[in-house]
Amino acid sequence: MRPVDSAPAAGRPDLLSRATPSADLLVRRAWVVDPREGLDGPADVLVRDGEIAELGEPGALAAPAGAEVLEGEARHLLPGLVDPHVHLRVPGDEHEEDLDSGTRAAAAGGFVAVLAMPNTRPPVDAAPGLQALRESAAREARVPVGFLAAITRGQQGRELTEMAELRDLGAVGFTDDGVPVAGAGVLRRALQYQRLCGAVLALHEEDPGLSGDGVMHEGEVSALLGLAGIPSVSESTMVARDASLALYEDARVHFQHLSARESVHALGAAKAAGARVSGEVSPHHLTLTHEAVRRLDTRVKMNPPLRADEDRRVLVDALRDGTIDCVATDHAPHAREEKEAPFEEAPMGTTGLETAFAALHSELVRPGLLTLGTLVERMTAGAALFDLPVPRVAVGQAANFLLADLDADWTVGESGYESRSENCCFAGRTFSGRILLTVAAGAVAYRARSLALVA
């Protein structure tokens, strides 16, 4: 994939987090998997001053004075995960999440970088809002955060935001996520304007006329429950439309949270035609179906909705073969009182940062649908799609990795959540794979209580 044309103004980093002391630590004898580095075996990993200083044969490296030593035997050390799609609810809904709690959840889930969506109250659609957020992130964020800005003012789908200035100020990309850019003419202008401002346009694809007042996937379960359906074609027709526009304007477009098999086919066709397009899929769309809605649990109400098992299987295949480029959680916290409502009234969205790796490891890697290496690749690839460095386990790189016990079983929600909200669609499920340590941008961002120091 070609990078987009321009970078932010010189010296202004895309991602920001609070200042944290750099780590000095030695992880001994962990099983290291990094497909980009060709690593899949036991090794010692030494971090000095926040940088990976040395990789050695298992048991070969000695800890320098002052360094922590962690036992990695029977544990896996993987590149830190990158989530290109989260909602941190700042500004406006800090009772649901804030930069501190949201990035704590990210770190607990093994993420070393997250990209926050601009559909806040008010939306991030002008310079002051973006600057304020970036200043807050530099004080509060536990792992580096990047911010996307809106494509249209107020996400109203009419006038473009000052995309060039927003890009100069550090907007990682542009999106009206939460709602589609319904008018093809407006989107076309945004694609043209990308030649000036650069940065990816990330698109929430949905035709409002087809979604109507739908609250779940249109199919047998919605027919049984009497709930208004959101047909798969609401998404796929827009993917096809915007892929055509992207090809015509030679623009760079990223399709968010794909849910329907028809959308996957449209994405594959667009890639084959040479369009500069990419796609993401969420852990819940890869592991759950509309059958989960039968109990009317509002935690499984999200947009796009959980679809049929045939859709889910096509999504898994597409993630494996690379038609879909990466995993994104679409972490969407909501307050308890909002979700404790009849299904039709409850807001759309599930949290996902703390469960993404465990859910996909348990449901895709364990049954043999995906290798651990491919999962790691897809859970880090979002960085490159937004022209950000991909975490690597390699000497000289900033330490961005996680340590996990893949055999540790845990039940989602049993010890609460780091997120301020608890609307997790996986609540009560038992997964195998527990994150023990997350090192992000050279600093320890999360450490499980059970993880003891050797020295």
Judged by the rule CB under 8 A, the positions of this chain that interact with another protein are 218-227, 229, 231, 296, 337, 340-345
Smaller CB distance to another protein: residue 66 or 209?
Answer: 209
Angle, nearest 10°, between helix axes 232-249 and 261-272?
A: 10
Question: Is there a cis peptide before residue 304, judged by omega within 30 degrees of 0?
Answer: yes
| Min separation Cβ 228 and another protein, Å | 8
Q: Are 103 and 57 in contact (CB under 8 A)?
A: no
Question: What is the phi/psi pair of residue 58, to 5°?
Answer: -55, 125
Query: Residues near 29 by Cβ (< 8 Å), separated by ≥ 6?
Result: 42, 43, 44, 58, 59, 71, 72, 73
Q: Given CA atoms 75, 77, 83, 84 in this order, what sign does their dihedral have?
A: negative
Question: Hey, what are 368's tokens?
Answer: 């043999």
| Min separation Cβ 225 and another protein, Å | 6
Q: Given CA atoms 134, 135, 137, 138 in this order, what sign does their dihedral have?
A: positive
Write out the H or E segment, with its range, that includes residue 238.
helix 232-249
> SS3 for 67?
coil
Query: Residues near 342 by Cβ (< 8 Å), separated by ≥ 6?
Result: none
| Min separation Cβ 258 and another protein, Å | 21
| Min separation Cβ 213 and another protein, Å | 11
**DSSP code, position 292:** G
Q: Given CA atoms 419, 422, 426, 431 in this order, what sign does their dihedral have?
A: positive
Q: Are 388 and 46 in contact (CB under 8 A)?
A: no
| Min separation Cβ 217 and another protein, Å | 10
Question: Hey, what are 206's tokens?
Answer: 């949905």
> SS3 for 413?
coil
Smaller CB distance to another protein: residue 229 or 279?
Answer: 229
- Residue 34 designated active-site: no
Smaller CB distance to another protein: residue 12 or 294?
Answer: 294
Smaller CB distance to another protein: residue 3 or 208?
Answer: 208
Dist CA 256 CA 238 (whole Å): 12
Candidates 177, 242, 330, 387; catalytic one? 330
| Min separation Cβ 216 and another protein, Å | 10
**DSSP code, position 157:** S
Smaller CB distance to another protein: residue 179 or 233?
Answer: 233
Smaller CB distance to another protein: residue 213 or 414?
Answer: 213
Dist CA 318 CA 327 (whole Å): 11
Smaller CB distance to another protein: residue 226 or 274?
Answer: 226
Question: Hey, what are 233's tokens?
Answer: 């074609």
| Min separation Cβ 291 and another protein, Å | 12
> Catalytic residue positions?
330
